[in-house]
Structure 1
């Protein structure tokens, strides 16, 4: 089965490949740079979900693939502060989107202030951690969990939710 993932980010690609491999579903994963059609820094669950759906839909346009996958990271305000959120969408051609979300964690206020002022999490994390391309490696979650959960693992959790719903719908 051919699957397109709406990203060239290694953490997201690894999550998709691992998710299907764990279920022993043989897939060919095609990474695509597609637009999310939302803000560079999604700032709510709703916007992050929409970005994931848009990426999945954009994967299906003009390609010979059976499934499009969109994985989107964002942030959302809570009464306790700004939290990271992450959502995914799996769309089989001709079917409605399957969506699922994953881990959340509270960002330190020094990071949250910068995001509220219009900066994007990826570059802020590079600056904060004094590392390069954090979003393509451990992600903010990897930094703030001291490596206990990495970005690809966070998105793998989302993929397990999506694949499980997909399988359930086939029963």
Structure 2
């Protein structure tokens, strides 16, 4: 099975590979545009970014599965929540979507995002580190390393893969 990942982000690539570890699979990661804002600011926009990456990955290469993973934020009455969504595209089906855990971002981070900044650079500045988005992610910083970005996307990937195999079994 050839799986095309719509991102070169190491945390996302590791999450995809982890979800398919029991399968014989060939992986290819590509830098596919999300087609949405650099900082998605709603569930809908984040979902659309994941779908765009999955469909774009599938179109770019001759694979059986295209994967799109997208991080974003969602405004709530409690404040700004970090959100993550994923999409799995295959040739004969509508994209499958799944979302991950959420948590409230500190107000100092939320204010900067509302002012138009992107979470990745804000987190680098806040944590005094480089490439937080490619490593532990905001979730890793704000959970003191208990959960990292790879693990957060791994949960989404398991939801996607489980739905994919369920739908495949129904067609038999």
Q: Same fold (TM over 0.5)?
A: yes
Matched residue SS, 2:20: helix
CA distance in 2, matches of 1:78, 1:55: 26
After TM superposition, the runs of 4+ consecutive aligned structure 1 residues lying more than 6 A away are: none
CA distance in 1, matches of 2:131, 2:60: 31
Which residue in 2 is equivalent to 1:36? 34
How far is the alpha carbon of 1:44 from its aligned partner? 0.2
Which residue in 1 is equivalent to 2:125? 127
Which residue in 1 is equivalent to 2:104? 106
CA distance 1:92–1:162, change in 2 (3 Å): same
Which residue in 2 is equivalent to 1:4? 4
Aligned pair partner of 1:165 in 153, 156, 163: 163
Aligned pair partner of 1:90 in 88, 91, 99: 88
Structure 2: runs of 5 or more not aligned: none
Matched residue SS, 1:73: strand
Which residue in 2 is equivalent to 1:139? 137
TM-score (structure 1 length as normaliser): 0.98
Matched residue SS, 1:126: helix
Structure 1: runs of 5 or more not aligned: none
How far is the alpha carbon of 1:170 from its aligned partner? 1.4
TM-score (structure 2 length as normaliser): 0.97
Alignment pair present for 1:13 and 2:9: no
C-alpha RMSD over aligned residues: 0.6
**1:83-105 superposed Cα distances (whole Å, 9 cap, x missing partner):** 00000000111210000000100
CA distance in 2, matches of 1:9, 1:62: 17
Alignment: residue pair count: 169
Which residue in 1 is equivalent to 2:149? 151
Matched residue SS, 1:131: coil
